[in-house]
Amino acid sequence: MEAGQVIVEGNKLAIGYAGKQGRTVHRDLNFRLCCGEFTCLLGANGSGKSTLLRTLAAAQPPLSGSLTLFGKPVNAYDPKERSRLIGLVLTDKTQTGGLSVYDLVSLGRQPHTGFFGRLSTHDKEAVSRSLEAVGMLHKADSYMAQLSDGERQKVMIAKALVQECPLILLDEPTAFLDVVSRIEIMTLLHRIAATGQKAVLMSTHDVEQALVLADRLWLMTGRYGLECGCTEDLILANRMDSLFEFQPDIRFDLMHGGFSPEVKGKKVIVLETADEVLRHWTQNALNRHDYFCLMPGQQTEFHGLPVLKVISPDQILLEANGTEICCSSFENLFHVLSCRS
């Protein structure tokens, strides 16, 4: 397959639950998943991310609209055909402790061998390649119960890889992992998409890593439905704030790529520093202590405001009420500020 080839396409798609007690979660969804791209699906809990993933995996039917896989309706494939085209990794912790890593990944070859099929030489090579791709070949003989959460998730990704599918869907695969493991998993998925020429779509709440590693973002909200685009296009179009549409006090920091509460400082201070890193972390600390920061040139209409000059982390000068106090640390600074309050 060539990079950029469309693997999945949805047009005016409605997703949700059919029947008398059913409901429509979203309608008029339009999107594409292309070969060689790592896409992150972002949205609040209950926004419909898992419903969309289940629909893409043909675990539940769309309510209306078009959903195609290689130009053919997804529901036109039989289950065995789909299992050769779609790999699925879920958040749920499955009971696999009694299996070895190699045996579990080998189960991913069932679409090619059948349930009781024996592994051919090609199958065994595919298992080894998949384990090597996720950095777990050295653990092939270990039992799943002996692995860390991060290692188990890598093995589940290897199981999806060994299916040799062009499309891999993952429902919050980093949900229970520590920071290091989350970074490892998302870096791995980006590499799999780029080097393995696959379309990889994962839902996640790890916004910061998604902004760094995802080629494309899908933003799912109740008000706007699904917004899709290149990561940087959506960021610079100020679309990230839509993720917190019902929490107006949370704002996206366009400069640093993270979310934080809106600053409503009751106290005002002028911040002077030539270093961008010092400015960011000083402002972060001051905001946390209920200070609103002004930069030089912004305070023309104010007089008598305290001025904070940050030269280095251990050389912080506070000018207030005609006096200058030199602080050797931020802890020292906030002790001084608290005494002035």
Residue 91 lies in a domain: yes
**Phi and psi at residue 46, to the nearest 5°:** 85, 5
Same domain, 149 and 223: yes
Check pLDDT > 70 for residue 148.
yes
Domain boundary among 197, 228, 253: 253
Question: Higher-confidence residue: 247 or 234?
Answer: 234
Same domain, 276 and 139: no
What is the predicted pLDDT for the residue at 118?
82
Same domain, 248 and 272: no
CATH number of the domain to which 247 belongs: 3.40.50.300
Check pLDDT > 70 for residue 341.
no
Residue 113 lies in a domain: yes
Same domain, 30 and 135: yes
pTM for this predicted structure: 0.82
**Domain tally, the chain:** 2
Q: Which domain holds residue 299?
A: 267-340
Rounded (10°) CA dihedral 246, 248, 254, 256: -90
Same domain, 317 and 186: no
Mean pLDDT of the chain: 88
Q: What is the CA radius of gyration of the chain?
A: 25
What is the predicted pLDDT for the residue at 4?
82
Residue 202: pLDDT band (50, 70, 90) is very high
Same domain, 291 and 213: no
What is the predicted pLDDT for the residue at 115?
59
Segments of 44-112 assigned E as strands: 64-69, 72-73, 86-89
Helices (H) and strands (E) in the chain, counts: 11, 17
Q: Using the 8-state DSSP alphabet, how is residue 205 labeled?
A: S
How many CB atoms are closer than 10 A to CB 26?
20
